[in-house]
Amino acid sequence: MLTLVIGGSASGKSEFAESLILQAPARPRVYLATMEPFGPEGAARVARHRAMRVEKGFITVERYTDLAGAEVPGGCAALLECMGNLTANELYSPSGAGEDAESAILRGIDRLLARCADLVVVTNEVFTGGQDYAGDTGRYLQVLAAVNRAVAQRADRVAEVACGQVIWYKGAER
């Protein structure tokens, strides 16, 4: 079962995505962290998300690029957070896939789908703030949008979270 959870910053998407994993019967629970923490702000964000997972039995796997190379136990319930960071890393990190970011990410998703019993992917809604983005930002938005559409197409369930409330675009609970 693949679920895509999308929302704006601080929309409650992480909490909702985590609740989906906690409801899933599969074990172990794996948290696939894609954000490379930079500076105090990054460290604080990581600490906040780690605290949310305390005693919930998550194994944390950090994977900043090359999602297809992530080692996760077969049959697990995995929470991938988040696609916005992974896309930026693949595009701009020295170890990233660069021009092949989109296909590298989707290869990773397909591999995880083959390994995991349940996969929840968290991604970012950053597409309603205008259309006149220059250079790198425009490219980032194009790649992230393409990844979001492709994952939504593969997904059994797609949900947007706004103010902690859930809007189903696809799936049984809609």
Partner 1 sequence: MIFVTGPLYSGKRTFARKTWGEVPTVWDVQDLAAGEADPPALADRLAAEYEVVIATEIGGGVVPVEPEVRAAREAAGRLSCLLAERAETVVRVFCGLPLVLKGELP
Confirm or reject binding of residue 170 to partner 1 (CB under 8 A). Answer: yes
Report the site for partner 1 in 117-136 (rule: CB under 8 A): 125, 127-131
- Answer yes or no: are the C-beta atoms of 8 and 124 closer than 8 Å: yes
**Shortest distance in whole angstroms from residue 20 CB to partner 1:** 17
Rounded Cα distance, 174 and 96, in Å: 36
Check binding of 137 to partner 1 (CB under 8 A): no
**Residue 1 interacts with partner 1 (CB under 8 A)?**
no
Q: How far is CA 77 from CA 55, 96, 119, 144, 153, in A?
A: 16, 26, 6, 24, 20
Q: How far is the CB of 87 from partner 1 (least distance, A)?
A: 13
Q: ω into residue 73 within 30 of 0, thus cis?
A: no
**What's the closest the beta carbon of residue 133 comes to partner 1, in angstroms?**
9
Residue in 6, 35, 105, 161 binding partner 1, rule: CB under 8 A: 6
